[in-house]
Every structure is written in structure tokens, then in C-alpha cells.
Amino acid sequence: MATTETAPGKHPDWVAHATGGAFGQVTDAPVGHGHMKRKEDARFIRGLGNYCDDVRLPGMVHGALLRSPYAHAKIVSIDTSAALAHPKVAAVVIAKDLETLGLAWMPTISYDTQAVLAGDKVRFHLQEVAFVIALDAYSAQDALQLIDVEYEVLPAIVNCRKALDPDAPLIRDDKVGQTDNLASPEWEAGDRMQCDRVFAEADTVAVRDLLYPRCHPSPMETCGMVADMNPATGQLNIYNGNQAPHAHRTVYAQVAGLPEQNIRILCNDIGGGFGNKVPVYPGYVCAIAGSIVAGAPVKWIEDRSENLVTTGFARDYLMHAEMCSKGGRISGLRVNVIADHGAFDSTAQPTKFPAGFFHIVTGSYDLDGAHCTVKAVYTNKAPGGVAYRCSFRITEAIYCVERMVDALAMEMNVDPIELRMKSFIRPEQFPYETQTGWVYDSGDYHKTMKLAMEMADYEGLRREQQEKLANGEIMGIGVTFFTEGVGAGPRRHMDILGLAMNDGAELRVHPSGKAVVSLSAQTQGQGHETTFAQIVAEELGISPNDIMVRHGDTDKTPYGLGTYGSRSTPVSGGATAVVARKVRDKARAFAAVMLETRPEDLAWEKGRWYVKGDPERGASIESIAEYAYGPNPLPEGLEGGLDANAVYDPPNLTYPYGAYISVVDIDPGTGKVHMRRFIAVDDCGVRINPMIVEGQIHGGLAEGVGIALMELISFDEQGNCLNSSFMDYLLPTALECPWFELGETVTPCPHHPIGAKGVGESACNGAPPCITNAVIDGLHKAKGIKHMDMPCNPARVWAAMNGNAQPPQ
Amino acid sequence: MLVSMSINGQTYSHDVEPRLLLVHYIREYAELHGTHWGCDTSNCGICVVLMDGEPLKSCTTLAAMAKGHEITTVEGLAKADGTLDPIQMGFHEMHGLQCGFCTPGMMVTGRWLIDKHPNPTQMTEHEIREAISGGLCRCTGYNNIIKSIRWAAAYEANAAGRR
């Protein structure tokens, strides 16, 4: 507990702020990496954040979307006359109006196309049909009721297996040559024949059908936009909290045929993203079209039902998996997936990987053979397949392999940790190429697993479990060891819509020695204004309080692909370190002139260059900056000023990993799962700000608790989505989350400039299989149950205990 | 209809539609944007404000129902001279916020809990969890929100002890 000698009301941070100092300034603020309170808190704790719905522009009007009540239906007619007659309605836009603007269809991030407003037919429940623009938001909602749409209802498909039936109705009849509901050709990774040989020689084989059910990222702020097209100048200003502003600008330029330089995206503050704010949504295009039509700024903010039912969902992977052992260790893995992409394929994936990074499914183990196939189908469900706190389907892969290791241990009748320990890639094997082609850079998995066992008192827990079992109580212990590949990615391997996945950074040290660093990464709460200042501080030796981090404005930041897939620190963090080192090198040349010596005779210590052998003779970054901008002689070949820019192309992904252990108690009478303990040991390499890293892990663990125990997007047979509010889509509250016990090991990433690996998504990858394994461990020991799918809510656990463990969809 | 209410000690009066929600009155008429909106259905707690000192979900309250009452929003936590309330300090000290969207609702709820609890420094973890369970946070996993509220309670007790 913090105590303070400061009088109430004279809190040191507030005093610093009031006197012009930065809010995060505390006496122990590190000049570089280390625990530091956040600079961005200053506005948030005062209620002075600036989120999308806080934007108000003169003359602004309000948009609302009419949505389809059917999952699959032909549109026979649309009558907008009554809505247009509403005194406060400015315009009503339907598909044929968009066609004249060339905006009826838009590209998805998977090279598919998606209807902005449905013209021919609707293909999922609550699909966008018409866009009303009115003088105020309430009137826009009123006018939606005045639009008359006649539908001819078609049979809907919400089951991915049924989508492959030969007589299944064709969902994407808009696509030339499309004769079935396959969204893309079957994709495979690994050596099938080698894998077959390994299975033929196996001692034990475990087989399971696993469903990672459809769930939703659900940031607390829904999606929205204010689009402001200036008819006089052709300038389009877009206020929209999204995770990839530069990529969005390029997409809008392509979709709308607008000059890219005339489009400016301002993200301001974002109330959480978790992958949900990566895609371009129909509502955004409607707001832009609406501003063009209405000649005024248009605000469109979706409500919670629209967010839950229609925006980027996650997972929906049906996985048939087999894992085998030889000589007491895991030897092979075979997985066949049907991926349900919904009505339009907008799954998140770099171009060359139609199933994203799912083929990292071999996990943390040294296997002799592995093979996976992925088949993607269209259904009458909302499009998406975005990563919910996940790097391109890695979450599904980790769930698959970690469930299968437990299943195999169950079949072998060995301890699940013992099997993992025997099968891990060993430290001396790095860099390690997996059976599906990934090159893991570094790791010491045994060490991390052992630390988690010590923290949990694993052996003690197993003894306690035995005792409880004897008393008729059900206690489960779950284990997961995950390896992620994050920080996409190397331009030779991956791109999104033809854009290489690199990020830029620009750094300018001003004459006073204060600096501005501009980023293409886009915070949604991750604390970039603090962390990235610390990266520069570490490299230049100036206080992070003297470094302003600029982001979220495409006119003022360098090009790059934004924040998702845990890529901020691995890619933008690399760019930031590199640009700071460029400035440091430039400062060295200036210092040599100032100190009348040669650059190679200078040595660096944090914050200053000094003459080797004469440490008293030196120049600080501040004095060098003053010199660089002053009327002074320049070093040969250099221009004045102290600045630089960089574009970072990561040489490889980074591979953070972790060992998680969870403990649950299951009520035998109700099936209610109580999360008693959660131990998480993460190795994300060098931790720039441990406080922020731990905050990220806490958040990911909580989302993992929700996915494992509560969250589910489901449909009835007519294709109606049954989870349109937080009464039906359950997110964990403070009562469902345990006290998280965190540990760390540090294995620096060998190819990253500062040895960091990224951490934002680790916990959300590791937690769902860990908790599910705990539930199944408990149910197996008490009732002999071998598998159940998430979510492990009371009704489903109770059904499983009574021999009826059905998939949720 | 004419609606008047006190928000953060200041009187507001407007002619509004009877169906206008309190959260929209606060945001659009009083122009206080610190109170956010998250779900429409009283499930997320993003929109919590205090009415006569008690937490209230302003997304499912009509502006008319607040007529004549005293509303406190996040903007009313700090003193007029800008001095932060200890609950605001606590959230900063203990990293109780990330994206900041749920933070105003969580902070006013935390303020209410400390004010009504007979012995704030002795609050149990479960009491705090229960008090904030009407609110959802996707970023923090709640651990640091609990610490933030405890920090504020301890800070106030410490300050009172010195007076």
C-alpha cells in the first residue's frame, strides 16, 4: 500500500501537472524502461478523453442504419417515401444510391467483397439495408420505422457442416462462378505423408472434435464515425476510432475513388478495440457517403446490439484433431478445420495465409510430424473472423494443441505437465523450425513451466484434489503452455491487401532538448503515450516526461499498419528504437564537432557523448540539440537539426510464451464453475514498463475467463442471432474474475532492437484452454468426462456431468 | 417539457422531449462528455453517475426522472481549483484504467463505496468486487480497479489522521 507524506489535495502528480510538468512524473520516474505511471491518465481520470461520440462539428447531422430482420431473404422492394417526408430527415440512402457513387460494395481484408447496403438480398441477421440521415439521433431512429421493405424469405444456414451439403442454398450468388458455399480453397500446412508415418508408428493416439465457438471482442465503446466531407475543398476528415488508421485511409481512397492525400483520419481516444476495430464496416462507408450526399458532417454511432450482432466476431472454428505419442513424448498432430466465415469473408489474415497463423498449431513441442488443413465456408451469419485479442487465428491453434495435449495425457494416463515437459522444444534447439514452417527464435520453456508449478504448488494442488474427490467435491486443475507468433510481420512473408506489414516512426529532438515521436501504431488503451516515450528515453537518455508521443492522426504520423496481433511493440517499438538510435548517431557527429574530435573517439553513456579516456569532456543530448539548431558549423555531410525517421521491417515474428495453471471448483449440484486461482507466468522478453505489461496480462486473463466460461454468440434455426445485448452475451464482471497471480521469466528476443516480444494477447490465448482443461480435469476425475466445448457455463457443465456434452452450436 | 436539475453543483434547465434519456441530457444538453454510454440495457455500468449520492445507470433513466435532483458526474469529482479527488489519484497510482471508457463509472462507484462504508480501510475484496459488479471493464481484469479503490480509502484515512 502506497503511503504519502503529501497533504491531501497536493498530490505530487497534480502539482506537476498544474505547474506544467507531465502528469506521469513521479520522483522515481525512470529515464528509460521501468515502472512508470501513465501519462495518458491525466485526461481520462478527469473525464476529458475525446472518444468518437464526443466529436461535435458545426452543422453535424446524425445517421442510423435500417437492418434486416431476416438472415437470408431477397429484397423485393424498398419504399423510403414516408421516411423522407419526416420533417427532420435530410436523406435516406439505399443500395441503388450507393451504386451511382460506386460505393455499393466494399473490399474486405480477405480480398472478398461485402455489400455496404444490401440491394439484391440480405445474407445475415441485421445486415445493413438503408441509411437515414436526420437532424438529431432520436429522429433518425424514428425514421427507420417509416421505411417499408418487402422481403422474400429464403432458408438460412447457420451450421458450417450443413453449408457444405450439395443441396444447401447458395449464399454468395453475387460472386461470378460461385456454385457452393466454400469461401476459399482448402489450405494446408505441414507434410501429410510424414505426419501419416508418425501416426502409423505411434504408441497412443487421442482424437477429439473441438469447437472454438463464435464469440465477440465487445470493446466497451461501440464502433462509430463522424465523416466530414468539405464540398469546396474535397477534403474528407474522418473521426473514427480504429486500429489501423493508415490502412483505413488507403481503403477509403480505393473504395470511394477519393484522392488519398485529401483523406485525414483522426482516431482521438478509443474505448477498447481487441480486434473489433480493425475492419472497415458498412456504417463507416455510409457515413462517408452520407456526408457527400448531405453536404454536412455525419455522425453514426452504432448501438450495442448492432455491435454484438453485426461487427467482427471471432473464432467459430470446428476442429477435428488427432495427437499421438511415441516413447512417452508427443510425436504427431493432425488437424482438419472447418472455418465458419459468415456471409462475407473478412477474416483477419496476411495474404499468403488464408487461415491466418493457424498453422502455428504445433505449439511449444518438438514434433516428428504435423499436418493441418483448413476449409472455409460461407453461412448466413455476420462476417468477421477478426482476431479477438489474437494474432490471426493463433488463439484457435493454441486452444487446439493445448486441449489435445491434455487429451493425450488423459489417454496415456500420465500427468499433463509431465507430458509437456518431455515434449517441449529444448533451449539448445533454438532457432527451431516447426513442422509447419515457423522459425521460433528463442525460449526456455522448462524454466517457465517449473516456475508456474512452484508458484501454484502443483503437487500440493494435486493432493488437495484427491482429498476433495474422496469427499465428493469436484476440483479441477488446468494447465496450458502456449507459444505465440506475433508482430506481423516481415515484408517478404506477409501483407494485408498488398500493404507490407511495416511501421514507421519519426523523431524530432527540439532545440530545448524536448522531443516528439510520431507513430503509426494506434493505442486503444495500451498506454503507448507512456511506453513509447520510455523507449526513446532509454535510447537517448532524456526523461520520458520530455517526450511527446503523437499518434492517431494520419496527417501527422508516418505510414504503417497499426495495432493488432500484438504488433505495437514488436514492430512500432522496433521502429522507435531504430529511429532513436539514428538520432543518437546524428548527435554523435554533432558532438564530435562540438568537442573538436572524431566521432569514433566518442563513447556513449545514457544521455551524453563523451571523449574516450576523458569522461569530463562530453556533450549532453540537450546541448547537442541546442547546437544542431544554432548558427553553428555542421558536421560534414549532415544537415542542421536533430531528427530522423525510420520504417521497421521485422526480420521475423517474435515468439512470446507462457505457462498457466488454473484451479476451479465445480458445484456438483448446479454445474457452476468457480475460478479459484489463476497463475500466469509470461515470458514476453524485455518488459519496457512492467506495470503496463501486467495490466495487459490482467485484461487478457479476464477476457479468457469470459470466453472459457461465459461468452457465446449463437443462432436459432432461422438464423437469428440470440445474443444482442449484455443480458444474453455474458461478459465477466469483478465477481467472476479471480485474483491473478503473475510471474515472469525474461528471454530477450534475439532479433528485436530492444529484445521485446509483445504481450497484449498472450493471456487471452493461454487462458481459455487452461480453464477448459481445468473444468475437464475436474469432470474427468469425478465423472469420467473426456471433453466438453466452451463456454463452460452452469447449464452446459451440468449437461456434461449428466452425459450430454454437446457442442454449443 | 421543462427539466431542471443540478449537475456537479450547477443548475441546468432545458425544454426536452419526455423520452430523453439522462445520459443524453448530460452529454448533449449539459455538454459534459465524461459520462460515456455503453449498452442501453443497464448491463455495463459505463454510464453510472450519482443521483443524490447514490449510483444510477443514466442510460435507463429519463432526464425527467432526474428533475430536481442532484447529479454528480466524473467532472464533479475534482475540486473547483482542479485538485483531484483521492479516487482519481488512486486510479492513476494503481493503474486502474487503460482505455478510460469505463473509468468515469468505476470512479464514481468507488467514490460512493468509500463514502457509504462504515470503515473504508477495512473493506474486503469481496465488498469491492460486489460494489463494482454492475460495471464492465474489458481492459483491466478488475484487479487494479480494486487496488485503486483501496488506495483511495487508505489515502483518505491517512490524510484524516494527520489533521
- CATH number, domain at B28? 3.10.20.30
Please name the residue that has the C-alpha cell 507462457: A658
B29 and B9 in a common domain? yes
End residue of a domain, out of B51, B76, B101: B76
Long-range contacts of A592-601 (CB under 8 A, 24+ apart): A592/A635, A593/A627, A593/A632, A593/A633, A593/A634, A593/A635, A594/A619, A594/A623, A594/A624, A594/A627, A595/A619, A599/A635
Task: Decide if A510 contacts A536 (C-beta within 8 A).
Answer: no
| Per-residue confidence band for A20, with pLDDT thresholds at 50, 70 and 90 | very low
Strand-pairing partners, residue B71, are: B7, B51
The pLDDT tens digits of the residues spanning A268-297 come to 999 999 999 999 999 999 999 999 999 999
In a domain? residue B39? yes
> How many domains does one find in chain B?
2
Domain holding B99: CATH number? Answer: 1.10.150.120
Our answer to whether residue A243 is catalytic in this structure is yes
Mean predicted confidence (pLDDT) in A431-454: 98
Residue A9 confidence (pLDDT): 36
pLDDT at A416 over 60: yes
pLDDT at B162 over 80: no
Residues A208, A334, A389, A687: which is the catalytic one?
A: A389
Q: Which CATH class is domain A53-154+223-301?
A: alpha beta
Cα nearest neighbour of B98 on chain A: A525
B94 and B71 in a common domain? no
Out of A270, A726, A734, closest to residue B133 by CB: A734
CA distance to partner chain B, nearest, from residue A705 (Å): 10
Out of A37, A44, A526, closest to residue B103 by CB: A44
Residues A160, A267, A390, A400: which is the catalytic one?
A: A390
CB contact under 8 A, B100 and A731: no
Residue A386 confidence (pLDDT): 84
B55 and B10 in a common domain? yes
Q: What's the whole-model pTM score?
A: 0.96
Out of A45, A54, A272, closest to residue B91 by CB: A45
B48 and B7 in a common domain? yes
Strand-pairing partners, residue A603, are: A610
The pLDDT tens digits of the residues spanning A575-613 come to 999 999 999 999 999 999 999 999 999 999 999 999 999
pLDDT at B88 over 80: yes
In a domain? residue B128? yes
Task: Decide if A353 contacts A392 (C-beta within 8 A).
Answer: yes
CB contact under 8 A, B79 and A9: yes
Where does chain A hold its CATH 3.30.365.10 domain(s)? 317-380+395-488+652-801, 503-648
Mutation target among B98, B107, B163 for the A interface, most CBs of A within 10 A: B98
Our answer to whether residue A261 is catalytic in this structure is no
Mean predicted confidence (pLDDT) in A308-330: 97
Q: Residue A229: which H helix or E strand, with range?
A: strand A224-229
Task: Decide if A699 contacts B140 (C-beta within 8 A).
Answer: yes
B117 and B61 in a common domain? no
CA distance to partner chain B, nearest, from residue A226 (Å): 16
Where does chain A hold its CATH 3.90.1170.50 domain(s)? 53-154+223-301
Provide the residue type at A151 as one letter.
Answer: Y
In a domain? residue B81? no
Measured CA to CA in angstroms, residue B73 lies from A337, A769, B144 at distances of: 50, 40, 22
Cα nearest neighbour of B34 on chain A: A47
B95 neighbourhood in chain A, CB within 8 Å: 37-38, 691-692, 694-695
In a domain? residue B163? no
Please name the residue that has the C-alpha cell 485474483: A739
Mean predicted confidence (pLDDT) in A567-582: 98
In a domain? residue B135? yes
Name the nearest CA neighbour of A315 among A6, A676, A713. A713
Mean predicted confidence (pLDDT) in A771-798: 98
Our answer to whether residue A400 is catalytic in this structure is no
In a domain? residue B92? yes
B149 and B115 in a common domain? yes
In a domain? residue B71? yes
Cell of A348: 483477419
pLDDT at A570 over 50: yes
B99 and B141 in a common domain? yes
Cα nearest neighbour of A39 on chain B: B92
Please name the residue that has the C-alpha cell 488427432: A322
| Per-residue confidence band for A449, with pLDDT thresholds at 50, 70 and 90 | very high
In a domain? residue B137? yes
CA distance to partner chain A, nearest, from residue B17 (Å): 10
The pLDDT tens digits of the residues spanning A123-177 come to 999 999 999 999 999 999 999 999 999 999 999 999 999 999 999 999 999 999 9
Mean predicted confidence (pLDDT) in A526-546: 97
pLDDT at A476 over 50: yes
B68 and B11 in a common domain? yes
Strand-pairing partners, residue A205, are: A324
Distance CA A443, CA A747 (A): 6
The distance of Cα A696 from the centroid of its chain, to the nearest Å, equals: 12
Out of B86, B88, B93, closest to residue A37 by CB: B93
What CATH fold (topology level) applies to the domain A317-380+395-488+652-801? Aldehyde Oxidoreductase; domain 4 (3.30.365)
**Percent of chain A having pLDDT more than 90?**
93
pLDDT at A530 over 80: yes
Rounded to the nearest 10 degrees, what angle do helices B143-162 and B86-93 cross at? 130
Cα nearest neighbour of B159 on chain A: A8
A503-648 CATH pick, 3.30.365.10, 3.30.70.260, 3.20.20.100, 3.30.1300.10 = 3.30.365.10
B68 and B10 in a common domain? yes
Q: Mean pLDDT in chain A?
A: 95
pLDDT at A802 over 50: yes
Our answer to whether residue A393 is catalytic in this structure is no
B97 and B70 in a common domain? no
| Per-residue confidence band for A1, with pLDDT thresholds at 50, 70 and 90 | very low
Residue A387 confidence (pLDDT): 85
Name the nearest CA neighbour of A791 among A770, A767, A768. A768
Cell of A312: 467482427
The pLDDT tens digits of the residues spanning A24-65 come to 444 457 999 999 999 999 999 999 999 999 999 999 999 999
Distance CA A785, CA A794 (A): 15
Q: Measured in Å, how far apart are chain A's first and last C-alpha atoms?
A: 47
Say which residues have a Cβ less than 8 Å from residue A765's Cβ, sequence separation at least 6: A389, A390, A394, A395, A398, A482, A484, A700, A704
End residue of a domain, out of B42, B76, B110: B76
Mean predicted confidence (pLDDT) in A406-414: 98
CB contact under 8 A, B82 and A1: no
Residue B163 confidence (pLDDT): 62
Q: Mean pLDDT in chain B?
A: 97
Task: Decide if A488 contacts A653 (C-beta within 8 A).
Answer: yes
Query: What residues make up the domain containing B144?
Result: 86-158
